[in-house]
Amino acid sequence: MIEVKNLKKTFGTQKILNGISTLFEAGKTNLIIGQSGSGKTVLLKSLLGIHSPDSGIICFDGRVYSDLSNDEKRTLRTEIGMVFQGSALFDSMTVEENIGFPLKMFTNKTPQEIKERVDFVINRVDLIDANDKKPSEISGGMQKRVAIARAIVNNPKYLFCDEPNSGLDPKTAIIIDNLIKEITEEYNITTVINTHDMNSVMEIGQKIIFLKNGKLAWEGTKEEIFKTDNEAVIDFVYSSELFKKVRKMYLDDNA
């Protein structure tokens, strides 16, 4: 669980985060949505410790990040997995080497223990027979699977995903969404996903926060987002005719 209290961040004279308070729950897919410039990326980077907020609190299962020592922060970072927008794989490494990289860097596991753990997560994300391939030799969807496997190889408590469906076709995007959701529930991970993909919202939005102009304008579940009367949410989520029809069908069916 990650708790955010009254988080504020300013760059120059521009307020990017303006008093955001919310809770990202363990075992659930927590999605951050909003227009470009709404503060999504700055919020995600603040949670990761890349940006230091001007004020407010970020609390990881009772641990206030700003109160931690440098050693405690390093320990916390070993509990975090990250799936980057472009996968960010090492081109010169094989799939197996990419996935095993965090274990070599941050643990004292033996080569055999690393091999066993890597084989386990490769199997978990359905990357059979890909161990010795380079990123350039596999599809974009498979690259995302490698990125997810690398993110979970060290048994993280917290998983952050920045636009995990970027560059994927709709069918593959749904597969990646479902894989992230399955892993989140299976290992009780606190997963935070920064996304523009409304299909992800409708498929796996167990907790959704909507940012507008640096403020938390709405939060709820994928079911509640169908029923909301929040005009800003309706304007953003249901901007396409397809989603307007989906919402109308949902409301008619649940009238």
> pLDDT tens per residue, the chain (255 residues)?
999 999 999 999 899 999 999 999 999 999 999 988 899 999 999 999 999 999 999 999 999 999 999 999 999 999 999 998 878 899 999 999 999 999 998 889 999 999 999 999 999 998 888 899 999 999 999 999 999 999 999 999 999 999 998 888 989 999 999 999 999 999 999 999 999 888 888 889 999 999 999 999 999 998 888 888 888 888 888 776 666 776 777 677 776
192 and 161 fall within a common domain: yes
Closest CA to 211 of 34, 47, 68: 34
Q: Please, is 185 exposed, middle or buried when counting C-beta atoms within 10 Å of its C-beta (0-12, 13-18, 19+)?
A: middle
38 and 72 fall within a common domain: yes
- 84 within a domain of the structure (yes/no): no
Q: How far apart are CA 154 and CA 77, in angstroms?
A: 11
Residue 129's pLDDT is 85
Residue 248's pLDDT is 72
User: Based on the structure, what is the number of domains in the chain?
Assistant: 2
Q: How far apart are CA 168 and CA 177, in angstroms?
A: 11
C-alpha dihedral sign at 219, 220, 221, 222 = negative
CB 27 within 8 A of CB 197: no
Picking from 155, 175, 192, the residue at the C-terminal end of a domain is 155
Give the residue numbers spanning the domain of 130: 96-155
One DSSP character per residue, 54-78 reads SEEEEEETTEEGGGS-HHHHHHHHT
Residue 87's pLDDT is 80
C-alpha dihedral sign at 82, 87, 93, 94 = positive
33 and 121 fall within a common domain: no
67 and 187 fall within a common domain: yes
Closest CA to 152 of 98, 73, 82: 82
Q: How far apart are CA 138 and CA 128, in angstroms?
A: 12
Residue 59's pLDDT is 97
59 and 169 fall within a common domain: yes
123 and 75 fall within a common domain: no
- 86 within a domain of the structure (yes/no): no
Closest CA to 188 of 63, 22, 61: 61
Q: What angle do CA 52, 3, 218 make, to 5 degrees?
A: 100
The model's pTM:
0.91
